[in-house]
Amino acid sequence: MTSVIYLQDTLELPEVDQLLERLQNSLLDSLHLDFQEADVEEAQAVARLAKGLRRIAQIKPLQIDYAPGLLAHNLYRLGALQQGKLTLFEPKDELAQSS
């Protein structure tokens, strides 16, 4: 069973920690996050979120829609996308949005 978790606003370190705890304790077979209305800007929050999502994806499938560009880049850099259980759908391109 999967349900979509819709995230909103800018996630800072405390919200990232709460989200990761919620996902780690989830009884769902797979996880689905939607960042369309959310962002993660702090470097430390992005790094912690990427590492946490990578760990979670080692246990169960995880789909991330509209991932912030920095998060998508960090997941790629960590090799999290090569495992096959973590998929990104239409990551945001912050550079294109700011021009």
**Each residue of 1-12: pLDDT tens digit?**
778 999 999 999
Cβ atoms of 49 and 16 closer than 8 Å: yes
pLDDT at 94: 67
Please state the domain extents for the chain. Answer: 40-99
- How high is the pLDDT of residue 99? 44
Q: What is the DSSP letter of 68?
A: -
H-state helical runs in 4-86: 13-24, 43-57, 69-77
- In this prediction, residue 40 has a pLDDT band, given cuts at 50, 70 and 90, of very high
pLDDT digits (tens, 9 = 90+) for 44-81: 999 999 999 999 999 999 999 999 999 999 999 999 98
Query: Which pLDDT tens digit goes with each residue over 27-37?
Result: 999 999 999 99
Contact call for residues 10 and 41 (beta carbons, < 8 A): yes
